[in-house]
Amino acid sequence: MPKTIATAPGKIILFGEHAVVYGQPAIAAPVSQVRATAVIQNSPTPGIRLIAPDLGSNILLSDANANDAVAAVVVQLQSAAQLQELPDLTITVSSQIPIASGLGSGAAITAAVIRALATHLGLSHLLSDEWVSDQTYEIEKIHHGTPSGIDNTVVAYERPVYFVRQQPRNRIEPFTVAQPLRLLVADTGIRSNTKDVVGDVRRQWQQDTATFDTIFAECGRIANTARKAIEKGNVIHIGQLMTENHILLQKMTVSEPTLDELVAVALAAGALGAKLSGAGRGGNMIALVDEEREPSVYDALLSVKAKNVLTTIIHPTN
C-alpha cells in the first residue's frame, strides 16, 4: 500500500513570546532535529482511522471527540479544499517533540498531517508554506484561543523568522543570520498549557494595562535590537538580550523556579545568555553558548533539574 509521509520541526522562540500576542515583534527558529511525522495510507477497511502509537490511541474519525487534534485537522483540510468526501485512510502520527513544553509540538503535528494528507489526496497545488501555515493557524485557534501565529509560521516555513502579528496579514520577514547560533534547549519536565498561561497574562494585562504594555513594548525593542545583532553576528549582544528578555518574562510571572534555576545555572557555567522559551510556567529554556563553553553548560544543566538537553544550531544564511 503506497504511503505518503510528511514531517514538521519543533521550534524555539528566541525573543518576544507573549508580547507577540499584543502586536510586538518576535523572533523564532525551527528545531529541525526533533520532528512530528504523519504517515497516510489507503485503508482496506471503511472510514478514516487515526493512530497515535505514542499515545496508545487508535480510533475512527467518526468516533473521535471534539477535542481530538488530528480529527480537527482532517475536518479542516476537507473544508479548506472543498472535498465532498474523503477516501478510506489510516493516518498515523508520531512526534519526537515533547508535548506542552514550548517547542510547538501541536503546530508541528498539525503541519505534518496537513502536508501528508494534502499530498496523498493529490492537492499538491495547494501546498505552499503559506497555505500550510494558514491551515495550521486555524487549528491553533481551537487549542490556544488567541495564538499570535508565530508557531505555525516557523514550523511551516522551517526557517528563522521575524514575525509581527497584524491585520490583514501578519508580517513575516526572513532575515540574515551572520554567525552560527549554538543553543542548548533544556526541558524542565514540567508540562504547561499554553492556553492557560496566555489567558493568565491577558487577565494581568487587563488589570494593569499600563505596566504590561510597557513590558511588552520593552520586549519588542529587544526583539528589534536582537534582529540587528543577529544580522551583524554580534553573538555576545544576542546573549545579553536573551537574558534581558527572560527578566521581562519573569515580570509577566510566566517564569517559575525550575526555569529560573536552569537560566541561572547556564549563565554561571558560561552561557552567553539564557531565557525561557515559549509560554513558560514550565516547558523549555534556551541557552546561547559558544563552542568552548557548550560542554560545561550542557553538564551544568543536566546536573540540576533539566530532564533532557538538546543542542541546536541556527546556521548562517546568505
Catalytic residues: 151
Site string for ligand PMV, 270-289 (x = CB under 6 A): --------xx---x------
Nearest to 31 by CA among 318, 310, 316: 310
Total residues found in the chain within this entry: 318
Smallest distance from the beta carbon of 256 to ligand PMV, in angstroms?
Answer: 13
Is 259 one of the binding residues for ligand PMV (CB under 6 A)?
A: no
Q: What share of the chain is helix, strand, coil (3-state, %, to 5)?
A: 45, 25, 30
Q: Count residues contacting ligand PMV (CB under 6 A)? A: 17
- Shorter beta-carbon distance to ligand PMV: residue 111 or 198: 198
* DSSP letters for 139-171: HHHHHHSS--SHHHHHHHH-S-EEEE--SSS-E
Residue with grid cell 499515545, as numbered in its chain? 55
The only residue of 70, 177, 198, 274 in contact with ligand PMV, by rule CB under 6 A: 198
Smallest distance from the beta carbon of 33 to ligand PMV, in angstroms?
Answer: 17
In the complex, residue closest to ligand PMV by CB: 278
Q: Is 221 helix (H, G, I), strand (E, B) or coil?
A: helix
H helices of the chain, in order, are 69-80, 105-120, 129-144, 150-157, 194-207, 209-232, 235-251, 257-268, 294-303
b/e for 283-293, b at 16 or more Cβ within 10 A?
bbbbbbbeeeb
- Shorter beta-carbon distance to ligand PMV: residue 76 or 148: 148
Smallest distance from the beta carbon of 21 to ligand PMV, in angstroms?
Answer: 5
Strand duo 89-95 + 161-164: pairing:
unpaired
Question: In the numeric block, which cell numbers belong to residue 258?
Answer: 525550575
Is 17 one of the binding residues for ligand PMV (CB under 6 A)?
A: yes
The only residue of 6, 20, 116, 287 in contact with ligand PMV, by rule CB under 6 A: 20
Is 148 one of the binding residues for ligand PMV (CB under 6 A)?
A: yes
The only residue of 134, 151, 187, 294 in contact with ligand PMV, by rule CB under 6 A: 151
| Site residues (vs ligand PMV, CB under 6 A) | 13, 17-18, 20-21, 102, 104, 144, 147-148, 150-151, 194, 198, 278-279, 283
